[in-house]
Every structure is written in structure tokens, then in C-alpha cells.
Structure 1
Amino acid sequence: MKKNIYIIALVLVVFMIGILFFQNNVTSTYKAVNTTEPKDGKAKNEEKPNVTFELMGEGDIVITLGDEYIEQGYIATDSKGNSVNIEVNLPDFNKAGKHKVEYIYKDNDNTKVLATRNIIIEPNINLDTNGIAICMYHYIYDDDNPPEKLNSNYISLNTFKKELDYLIENEYYFPTWNEVKDYIDGKQILPDNSIVITFDDGRKQTLEYMSQLTDEYKIPMTSFLITKNDGQRKVEKFSSRYLNFQSHSHDMHRPGGSIGHGGIFTALSVEEGVADLKKSIEICGSSDAFAYPFGDYSDSSRQAIEQSGFLCAFTTEYGKVYPGNDPFVLPRIRMSNGQSLSSFIKAIN
């Protein structure tokens, strides 16, 4: 009897020593845990092998937008000291801000260990880019029924459709106004073939064409609307996923100033300008972008634009938009009646 007791005691001692030995010799920075359930719904008691994971380098990594990210390295081993494969998930390096690089360990049961490294991408207004073409159109007309007073502000429907076909066939990117602003501020890299389509004034016939074409091509377009001219009804009727309205002022598209083409905006005080702009913002339902009436601007009108909360504003000066530009006096590329497809391609590229 005593002999049996001694044997049982000896077994227990050996068992306890084994447990202590296991606990003292298995260490882990990140522990792999089985995240899959067996098909019978019963939890598995067996733990997967521990994985020790060590990141090289110290603290957050800071780079400038547009610079190459260089991985600092890592060491990943199992409990036996063998190297294990790690999946590295990289963030979008085309946007400034705080990001994370994720390091993931997976085994055959989809068990994983996750570690992260902070990457801080600082803005860069000195990015070397091709620039963004902000296209300035005014009116669309039917080739079979041209207006009596046809001028350079018009573009034929067939010509415009050929241009849209070219953009689709060549997979152009159509950024939002927020993306354009981040691009200007050096906070985002956009594809080299980025383009924005805008029309000034918001004439009813042109809006009807724009509505049809945006639905057909799924290309976003902006109408810079003079909101005094039946603006509320136009916004309610034509606003869509692809057709958005931005301000061309409420009632400042008229003479009265002495700068440039003589638009009244430059003759108004900052307070008067803001009052008009607030009306147009309310009707358009957005303050993302503004087009100066006649392209005229002054220090006071620029100040009114900024105080009204616009992201950006456009003149009629010719050129592309680049990082570091003043967001409240941006150029556009004028599109004119009779332009060929080749001249359009040259202008936007």
C-alpha cells in the first residue's frame, strides 16, 4: 500500500516539475492564438506554438510624401528558434498622415499574430507632378441645331462626347474636390492622368446635356451655378451622383467693378461678398469649390472666398493645378468651340 502511495507521489512530483519547466522556458512577445472553430462547435484545447516577434528600428518612422519607404526589418521565430513566415501589409503611401504597417503571422489554421509599426507621412508641396487639368467649359449645343450667336464658349455635343470617349478609353481618374485640395496642399498623390470637368453659369439646356452624359458615361462633372438664375429649381432637378453644383456666386455675375472684365465682385467689401456667397452655398448645398465671375478677383474677393469656407476657387487664367498653388486663385484650361480632339488631348496632357 505504502509502495503505491510513493509511486503516486513520485508521478505527481514529476508532473509538477514538467509544468514548471514548460512555463519557464516558453516566452513570447506576440502569442499565436487559434482563431478558427472546429466544425463540431467544440473548442480545441491545444494551443498553437508561441511566436516571438521583434521589430528592428526605434520608434515611429517619419517620411515625406513621395519618398520611398524603407522597411527597417524584423525577426520572427517560433518557440524552437525557427524562422517563421510573416505577411507584411503596407498602407497607402499616397496620402499624408499617420499610418500603420501590419505584420501578420498565419499558420495552416489561419492562426495569426499581429504587430504594427507607425509610419508618419508628412505633406510635401514640392512634389514633382504632371499637374491636374481642371477643364473649363460653358455651353453645349446640338450639332444639328447650333445657336444663332455661336461663340467660343460653346462646344458641340459630338465634340464633347468624343472627348469623354477618350477619357474613358484611356482610364482617366476623376478626383473629388477634397482630393484636389489635398493634392494642392501636398497631402495626397493623384494619378498623372487626373482630370476635372467643369461648366460655368449653369444654363438649363447645358444642364440637361450634362445630366444625360454623366448618367451615360459615369463621369463626375461640376456645374458652377449662378444661383440667382432659378438656382434652387436647377439643383433640385439635376443634382445626381455624378453631377454636382458649386458656386459661381448668387448675384455677382454682373458688371460694376474696374478689374479685369469688370465684374462687381472686386468692387464689393469682404462682408458684402461673404453675404452673397453664403446664399449661393445654401442653394448649391456645397462649399467645395468656387469659380470667380468673369475670372476677376482681388485681395478682398479672395478673402471673402476664404472666409466663406470654400476649399478652393478658380479663375479663368490658363494652366494646370500643382501642389503648392494658392488654393483660392487656381487656373483652369479653357475649352473652346471648334477644338479638335488632338488639341484637347494636348491641352490636358
Structure 2
Amino acid sequence: MLRLSTILSLLLLLSARAFAADHAVILQYHHVSDNTPRSTSVTPAQFEEHLSYLRDNGFTVMALPEIIKRIRTHQALPDRTVAITFDDAYISIYREAFPLMKKHSYPFTIFVNTDAVERGYGDALSWQQLNEMVESGASIANHGVSHGHLVERAKGEDEQVWLNKIHKDIETAEKIINEKTGQDLKMFAWPYGETVPPLRQLIGQMGFVGFGQQSGPVGALSDFTKLPRFPMGGAYAAMDSFITKVNTLPLPVSGKTPDSSLIDENNTTPVLQLTLAGGDYQKKLLACYGLGESLKINWLDAEKMTFQIQSEKAILPGRSRFNCTAPDQSGRRYYWYSHDWLRLTSEGKALD
């Protein structure tokens, strides 16, 4: 006959396995301030509300490097695991966000564009402030040297020259971060979320994990040269939206066409084709959206595993997204996938 302690241990083990997961949500913030551009800001009150929700509703806030390590090596994560990241090394991270993070004992990552810190721009953090946060568990990662539009190529610029230039930018920033903070995490956030296949291949060869700004949770099928994050700013930081997003699951996309985000000027209404793996999602309730409209889903096979979506509107210069969601079997959580589009101007420039 089993002892009570043995039974309890088995129940705890089974419970832990039941709640083990292979996914996480990564949140992306910029400013935490009442006085910065609304589109890239949350107020301190909003940010505290976000953190309190995570604390009060059973979420595990984990350091981003640990999350990436576990997903890549197929180690289990607690369900409802979240990472908190900040881009651009703004001073409000130290003044407003850092005290709240310490209050909750939450780890976080700052993606630093090193020129801003090195040159002492007025709204940028200092290395002293960054190292103070490192001592409290912050991770300092790479956002390039100058935060430029890396997808832009000078007129007549050879592809290899362009790739060598980006390689140097990323390598230089990583070296500075290592020298100043002792960290060498090889995690790179694409400025503006912009990248193309040759650049993604480049950072893969350099041994970096890449992070974009397309929405959605991270899962085992995610592209580790451009992992999704949920941007938190303006209307996207509203509490009802936040609650939906931190509870999402990764829609299991096993293949997509095109692989690039870049829009061909001769085809400004591109077709996105996605192939799904099996999962707990309700396929009949799959819905896709883009450019402010619901997109018709065109299934290409009887099993309904591959589909196409297309907007009737032309994609304008700038950045946009197609988002697809499906509820889980309980109807309480959503599976989510986002594909971002990038259309350059006629001069080959990306818009801020």
C-alpha cells in the first residue's frame, strides 16, 4: 500500500507535468512615462497594473535567456510564462520601470543601441544605471550601434558589402556591451522589427537569437532569428488587450510562404500561405485580420491544414501585419500568429 507522502509526491509530479509548456509570451516596452510619445509608451500606472496582473494570476516572469534556452533544448516551462523586455535604453526604464520591477522581483531584458548610451543622449540610460540594473538581475542585450533601418541598402551597394556592414554593426555593439556590463548574451532585437532573409541568415551564422516586433507568443516552431514579441504602447497596452495577449498560445505554423516580409513593388496585395501542425485550437473558428479588415481564409486542402489569406487593399509604404487567431478548446485562450509586412518607399527607404 502506498504511503500518503508517496501519493502526494506523485500527484504533485503529475500536476507539474500537466502544467508544463513549451511556449512563452515576450512583452516589448519602450518608454514607461506620462510624457513620451503615446504610440511607444505606457504610463507608470499602466505598467504597474500589468505587473500586478501577472503577480495575481499565476504567471511566471522568467529571464529571457532562460526561456530561450529551455525552448531550444525542449525543456519544459511553466504554463503562462512571460518575459519582459525594453527596447532603446530610455531613461524612463531606470526611473519608472526599474523600481516596479524590483518591487515584484521580476527579471527583465534591455535591448541597448549602444550609440545612444556612449554619446550620452538626453533620454538615454548611462552604463552606470545599466550596471545597477544588472546587479538586480537585468539582462543587457544587443539592439545594434545606431538603431538604423538595417534593411536599407545604398544605391548600387553590393549585397556582401551590405551584409558585412550589418555584421560589423551587430558585432561592435555586442563587444561594447560585453566590455561595459560583462554580458555577452548573443540576443539581438531588430531595430523597428525590420529584417529580411539574408539578414536573418547572417545573425544565425553569428550565433545570435533574433527578436522582432510582430505579435504572438514564442513556441518550439518559432523562427529563432525573428522571434515574436507583443508590443506594449498606446492602445496596444490597454488592460483588456494585455490580458488577452499574455494568455495566448502559439498557433503551430509549420510552414509559410513568402518567407520574407518585404513587399514587391509589383505586388502590393501579396498572398500569405500558412501550413498548420495539429493542436488544441478550434480550426473552424480560425480568423485572420489585416489592414483593418477581416481576411477571407482560403483552405487549400481537405484536411484544412494549409490556407491562404490576402488583403484586397494595397499595402502602403511602412510596416503592417496579418494576424491569425483561433480559440483553444475551452474558448478561454487564443492561439496566435502574426506575419509582418514591410514596404519601402520608391527610393528604397523604410519609414520610421
- Coarse TM-score class (shorter-chain normalised): 0.5 to 0.7
Cα separation, 2, equivalents of 1:181 and 1:255: 25
Query: SS of the counterpart of 1:290?
Result: strand
Q: What is the number of equivalent residue pairs in this alignment?
A: 226
Deviation at 1:136, TM superposition (A): 0.9
* 8 Å CA contact 1:179, 1:188 repeated in 2: no
Query: SS of the counterpart of 2:214?
Result: strand
Cα separation, 1, equivalents of 2:137 and 2:106: 6
Deviation at 1:288, TM superposition (A): 4.7
What is the alpha-carbon root mean square deviation over aligned residues? 3.7
Question: Paired residue for 2:28?
Answer: 136
Deviation at 1:190, TM superposition (A): 0.9
* 8 Å CA contact 2:28, 2:86 repeated in 1: yes
| Residues 108-140 of structure 1: per-residue CA shift (max 9 Å, x gap) | xxxxxxxxxxxxxxxxxxxx9583110111101
* 8 Å CA contact 2:25, 2:82 repeated in 1: yes
Cα pair distance change 1:165/1:139, threshold 3 Å = same
Cα pair distance change 1:84/1:244, threshold 3 Å = closer
Q: Higher mean Cα deviation, 321-330 or 275-284?
A: 275-284
Cα separation, 2, equivalents of 1:189 and 1:306: 24
Give the unaligned 5+ runs of structure 2. Answer: 119-126, 154-160, 248-352
Question: Paired residue for 1:305?
Answer: 203
Cα pair distance change 1:280/1:306, threshold 3 Å = farther
Deviation at 1:271, TM superposition (A): 4.1
Query: Which residue among 78, 96, 121 is the counterpart of 1:209?
Result: 96
Question: Paired residue for 2:280?
Answer: none
Question: Paired residue for 2:148?
Answer: 254
Percent same amino acid among aligned pairs?
24
| Residues 262-299 of structure 1: per-residue CA shift (max 9 Å, x gap) | xxxx9442642453343344245231522111111233
* 8 Å CA contact 1:94, 1:188 repeated in 2: no
Query: Which residue among 47, 52, 56 is the counterpart of 1:169?
Result: 56
Matched, 1:155 2:49: no
TM-score normalised by length of structure 2 = 0.55
Cα pair distance change 1:298/1:237, threshold 3 Å = same
Query: SS of the counterpart of 2:171?
Result: helix
Moved over 4 A (4+): 83-95
Question: Paired residue for 1:196?
Answer: 83
Query: Which residue among 323, 327, 343 is the counterpart of 2:220?
Result: 323
Cα separation, 2, equivalents of 1:256 and 1:130: 31
Cα separation, 1, equivalents of 2:133 and 2:81: 25
Deviation at 1:345, TM superposition (A): 0.3
* 8 Å CA contact 1:247, 1:280 repeated in 2: no
* 8 Å CA contact 2:111, 2:140 repeated in 1: yes
* 8 Å CA contact 1:314, 1:329 repeated in 2: yes
Matched, 1:235 2:130: yes
Query: SS of the counterpart of 1:235?
Result: helix
TM-score normalised by length of structure 1 = 0.55
Question: Paired residue for 1:275?
Answer: 171
Cα pair distance change 1:93/1:326, threshold 3 Å = farther
Larger Rg: 1
Query: SS of the counterpart of 2:230?
Result: strand
* 8 Å CA contact 2:151, 2:194 repeated in 1: no
What are the equivalent positions in structure 2 for 1:42-191 lying under 5 Å apart? 131-142=23-34, 146-147=35-36, 150-185=37-72, 187-191=74-78
Deviation at 1:336, TM superposition (A): 1.9
Cα pair distance change 1:179/1:221, threshold 3 Å = closer
Cα separation, 2, equivalents of 1:273 and 1:303: 15
Deviation at 1:241, TM superposition (A): 2.4
Question: Paired residue for 1:348?
Answer: 246
Cα separation, 2, equivalents of 1:199 and 1:84: 50
Cα separation, 2, equivalents of 1:272 and 1:221: 26
Amino acid at match of 1:162: E
* 8 Å CA contact 1:133, 1:348 repeated in 2: yes
Cα separation, 2, equivalents of 1:94 and 1:272: 48
Cα separation, 1, equivalents of 2:195 and 2:2: 63
* 8 Å CA contact 1:320, 1:332 repeated in 2: yes
Cα separation, 1, equivalents of 2:2 and 2:84: 51
Cα separation, 1, equivalents of 2:86 and 2:231: 10
| Residues 70-91 of structure 1: per-residue CA shift (max 9 Å, x gap) | xxxxxxxxxxxxx999979989
* 8 Å CA contact 2:142, 2:174 repeated in 1: no
Question: Paired residue for 1:332?
Answer: 229
Query: SS of the counterpart of 2:95?
Result: helix
Cα separation, 2, equivalents of 1:92 and 1:228: 49
* 8 Å CA contact 1:138, 1:154 repeated in 2: yes
Cα pair distance change 1:319/1:267, threshold 3 Å = farther
Question: Paired residue for 2:108?
Answer: 221
Cα separation, 1, equivalents of 2:210 and 2:184: 13
* 8 Å CA contact 1:136, 1:200 repeated in 2: yes
Cα pair distance change 1:316/1:87, threshold 3 Å = closer
Deviation at 1:306, TM superposition (A): 3.0
* 8 Å CA contact 1:256, 1:267 repeated in 2: no
